[in-house]
Amino acid sequence: MQITSPFFSFLFFFFWQLNILVDTGSSNFAVAGVPDPDVTSYFNPELSSTYRSQGIEVTVKYSQGSWTGVLGTDVITMPKGLYGSYTINIATILESENFFLPGVKWHGILGLAYDALAKPSSSVETFFDSLVKQAKIPNIFSLQMCGAGLPVSGSGTNGGSLVLGGIEPSLYTGDIWYTPIKEEWYYQVEILKLEVGGQNLQLDCREYNADKAIVDSGTTLLRLPEKVFSAVVQAIARTSLIQEFSSEFWTGTQLACWDRSEKPWSLFPKLSIYLRDENSSRSFRISILPQLYIQPILVIGDNLQCYRFGISSSTNALVIGATVMEGFYVIFDRAQRRVGFAVSPCAEADGAPVSEIEGPFTTADVASNCVSSVSFHEPVLWIASYALMSLCGIILLVLIVLLLIPPRCQHRYTDNDVVNDESSLVRHRWK
């Protein structure tokens, strides 16, 4: 999960009357276990006869915020359809930093990514894996996030649905297009191309996947690798009909305001992301209209509506976050190792759709593989850091040895030797 600004989007669903952030970018299930100034209620394990503490401490860091808690297990009963009781891992949060933000009405997080990301190790079975095993539901869940074109309030999105174990036909229209999951940790996918207002950005497709492209419901915005971000901002600024824009709008530190009677959306271009199809010689594109990425956030006075830019830059990933996901019904088909996208009926503003899916397109114009084979995942980083550490050690050793060796070779200057460059040149010449 990544909280990139004080304003972020999430889904609510109810467990013991607690609101849980649904996060496809992490893999631990955790709830507040003690009172916190920023949470209105919490889970008290002492009141649960089925709770078992494992006494193992765990810390999870997100791109912003972190928490420390204790691992345990408890028995849950699921609402709607999944009748029965299931034993799942649950961490009770005892301490946190920038996690429960003021004014935010959620009390925990449900990490729905793969066990490779579970902390402290992948042996902590994830919530969804436990459910699939015990409830014998298909290994697939789907997520419809709603809120397109609606004001972003401090308390989150405007609702949505999480379907565990399948696909709900009423939550989408048209076809579902699937892209393969490249590696099972985050939901990592392969992006082939980006278009702004129908114009190809023309970057090397590896830039779009630097160093990974993931689908993450816990991230508020569409995040782009720095190079891609600046190309997109340039293209939007060029294509938009707006004379001049302060750079602070693009970096997210300033809002742009218009009279309430005039919506600014017609001034901005459509944004399209091409994903590789299951048939690797094909692709499809998901497009978001400005209603999704120019987001109303604040009203000033009687008639000024202010908007933020729903795209930000990232140093290590392209993240398809809530900004994009609000346009689609997204299917996490783990059984067939693929992520599906379909147009979502709640993705409309003023009666008009704000997202599109089209395909198939040929992939003849892009490389056969846009995901670099040397991906800097954590194990590789560890090896790299160990290698660097040993290198430092060797250099240190050499320096110590040099310091200990008596300076025999050093030339000792006497008064006669003190010459400036010019005179030494002259002397050489005369020799």
Ligand X SMILES: *[C@@H]1O[C@H](CO)[C@@H](O)[C@H](O)[C@H]1NC(C)=O
Catalytic residues: 23, 216
Q: Give the span between the Cα atoms of 90 and 93, in whole angstroms.
A: 9
The nearest distance, CB 365 to ligand X, in angstroms, is: 13
Which is nearer to ligand X, 263 or 276 (by Cβ)? 276
**Cα 356 to Cα 33, 253, 265, 343, distances in angstroms:** 42, 29, 16, 6
Q: Give the span between the Cα atoms of 389 and 117, in whole angstroms.
A: 25
The nearest distance, CB 205 to ligand X, in angstroms, is: 18
Torsion of CA 9, 12, 15, 17, to 10 degrees: 100
Burial class (CB in 10 A: 0-12, 13-18, 19+), 90: buried
Which is nearer to ligand X, 206 or 282 (by Cβ)? 282
The nearest distance, CB 376 to ligand X, in angstroms, is: 31
Which is nearer to ligand X, 251 or 281 (by Cβ)? 281
| Count of residues of this chain found to bind ligand X when the rule CB under 6 A is applied | 3
**Site map (CB under 6 A) of ligand X, residues 247-286, x = contact:** --------------------------------x-xx----
Read off the tokens for 362: 């040929």
Across the beta sheet with 199-200, the strand order is 199-200, 191-196, 271-276, 282-288, 355-362
The nearest distance, CB 397 to ligand X, in angstroms, is: 58
**Site map (CB under 6 A) of ligand X, residues 206-245, x = contact:** ----------------------------------------
The nearest distance, CB 361 to ligand X, in angstroms, is: 9
Q: Give the span between the Cα atoms of 177 and 285, in whole angstroms.
A: 9
DSSP 281-295: TEEEEEEE-HHHHEE
Task: Report the Cα–Cα distance between both ends of the chain, in Å, rounded.
Answer: 75
**Site map (CB under 6 A) of ligand X, residues 282-311, x = contact:** x-----------------------------
Query: Omega into 129 within 30° of 0, i.e. cis?
Result: no
Q: Give the span between the Cα atoms of 325 and 341, in whole angstroms.
A: 9
- Closest alpha carbon to 221 in 278, 297, 298: 297
| 358 sits near ligand X (criterion: CB under 6 A) | no
Which is nearer to ligand X, 248 or 358 (by Cβ)? 358
Work out whether the CA dihedral 154, 155, 161, 164 comes out positive or negative: positive
Long-range contacts of 375-380 (CB under 8 A, 24+ apart): 375/183, 375/211, 375/212, 376/211, 377/185
Contacts (CB under 6 A) with ligand X, residues 159-188? none
Which is nearer to ligand X, 282 or 377 (by Cβ)? 282
Residue pointed to by tokens 């140093």: 315
DSSP 259: E
Read off the tokens for 65: 């915020």
Which is nearer to ligand X, 365 or 378 (by Cβ)? 365
The nearest distance, CB 293 to ligand X, in angstroms, is: 31
Q: Which residue is nearest to ligand X (CB)?
A: 279
The nearest distance, CB 360 to ligand X, in angstroms, is: 6
The nearest distance, CB 282 to ligand X, in angstroms, is: 5
H-helix or E-strand spanning residue 262: none
CA 135 to chain centre: 29
Interface positions with ligand X (CB under 6 A):
279, 281-282
